[in-house]
Amino acid sequence: MKKILITGASGFVGGFLVEECLKRNLEVHAGIRKTSSRSYLQDDRIHFFEVDFPNVDLMTEKLKLAQFDYIIHNAGIVAAEKKEDYFRVNTEYTKRFVESIQKSKIPSKFLYMSSIAAYGPASPTDKSDFLKNEYTPAPITSYGKSKLDSEYYLKTVQDLPYIVVRPTVVYGPREKDLFTFFQFVSRHLQPKIGFQKQDLTFIHVKDLVRVVVDATLSTQSNKSYFIADGDHYSADELGTYVKKSLNKKTLKLTVPAALAKIVASVFEMSAKSIGRYPTFNVEKVAELTAQNWKCDIAPIKKDFAFKPEFDLETGLQHTIQWYQKNKWL
């Protein structure tokens, strides 16, 4: 039985990666920290692997003993109080982890979970523009820049077969950020930030993890892929699908971007008192108001015959049903 390590296994995407790998009859090792929640890691077949990325020597020895065939590096942070924290966790820890893998001399295939944010939005004026691998990256947040730095680093690494994937907005059961929007709609409000028209892209978590595992187990290497469901949507379409699934009527509320930044600043200041930095922060407003997040998924369709099961409407129906069944809504 092939062995796979999934870092960030306690998170939203990580938990679904674990489930998908168990379905594939892999020996699954969930990479977690001592403090990580195991709420969605209850399957008896799961092995746990405690990670300490800064400690290269310790990680090297642990990897030598484990001898993983595949590694999906999904760990990282999406919100941080200090900009340098993004680079410390998303970039430097990735470098040290890869260094540990190389020192351990295990013949692992390595998949790095990057983000569409690493490239930044496509042209806001040219609606025929799609993000592609040959596009010059222009990330607009520290999170995106930290992910891009990791991508650049991987290209310099010798003798490590790797794949980079850049998912767009990921949603599905147990997701908590887009869920906030669902809560507003359930209360008859449909908020939108900014007055510009947008082209938004999404991917259901089950479609994401399926193709990520396909890529990990494949013979493809040293390639990068954008991942989305292949369509693009307006903010109004998103709201319409959510309203339909919840059977709600709403009042549309457009918040100017400048005001959204002020609100995000208040959230940031309030978060300092509780020690938890909000995902809705000043930098995030830039991504939420960007006009064009279309991306080219032709390469991933070609290499892995990727065909998403969910478009946004059916995916939201599936997701909201889960929230209702589990009393989140």
The confidence score (pLDDT) of residue 272 equals 65
Range with lowest mean pLDDT among 78-82, 153-157, 317-321 = 78-82
Are 209 and 51 in contact by the 8 Å Cβ rule? The answer is no
**85: containing domain:** 3-174+201-231+293-309
Range with lowest mean pLDDT among 2-11, 223-232, 280-289 = 280-289
The confidence score (pLDDT) of residue 120 equals 95
| Top-confidence residue, 260 or 95 | 95
Examine residue 155 and state whether it is found in any structural domain, yes or no: yes
Distance in angstroms (rounded) separating the CA atoms of residues 150 and 91: 5
Q: pLDDT-derived band of residue 275, with 50, 70 and 90 as boundaries?
A: low
Are 237 and 311 in contact by the 8 Å Cβ rule? The answer is no
Are 158 and 110 in contact by the 8 Å Cβ rule? The answer is no
The confidence score (pLDDT) of residue 307 equals 97
Examine residue 251 and state whether it is found in any structural domain, yes or no: no
Q: Is the pLDDT of residue 6 over 80?
A: yes
Mean pLDDT along residues 231-249: 96
Are 111 and 73 in contact by the 8 Å Cβ rule? The answer is yes
Examine residue 77 and state whether it is found in any structural domain, yes or no: yes
The confidence score (pLDDT) of residue 161 equals 97
Task: Name the residue with tokens 């903010």.
Answer: 235
Q: Is the pLDDT of residue 114 over 90?
A: yes
Q: pLDDT-derived band of residue 128, with 50, 70 and 90 as boundaries?
A: confident
Q: Is the pLDDT of residue 141 over 80?
A: yes
Any alpha helices (H) in 39-113, and if so which ranges? 56-66, 83-86, 93-104
Q: Is the pLDDT of residue 303 over 90?
A: yes
* Mean pLDDT over the full length of the chain: 94
Residue 295, classed as helix, strand or coil, is: strand
Range with lowest mean pLDDT among 8-22, 156-170, 181-195, 257-271 = 257-271
The two three-digit tokens of residue 117, written as one number: 């944010």
Examine residue 162 and state whether it is found in any structural domain, yes or no: yes
73-100 pLDDT per residue, tens: 999 999 888 899 999 999 999 999 999 9
State the total domains in the chain. 1
Half-sphere exposure of 92 (CA within 13 A, CB side): 9
Examine residue 325 and state whether it is found in any structural domain, yes or no: no
**Element holding 312 (H helix, E strand):** helix 312-325
Question: What CATH number is attached to the domain comprising 103?
Answer: 3.40.50.720
Q: Is the pLDDT of residue 152 over 90?
A: yes
The confidence score (pLDDT) of residue 46 equals 98
Q: Is the pLDDT of residue 105 over 70?
A: yes
Buried b (16+ CB within 10 A) or exposed e, 225-257: bbbbbbbbbebeebbbbbbebbeeebeeeebee
Examine residue 248 and state whether it is found in any structural domain, yes or no: no
**Which pTM value belongs to this model?**
0.96
Q: What's the CA angle centered on 210, arms 328 and 54, to 5 degrees?
A: 80
Range with lowest mean pLDDT among 136-150, 201-215, 258-272 = 258-272
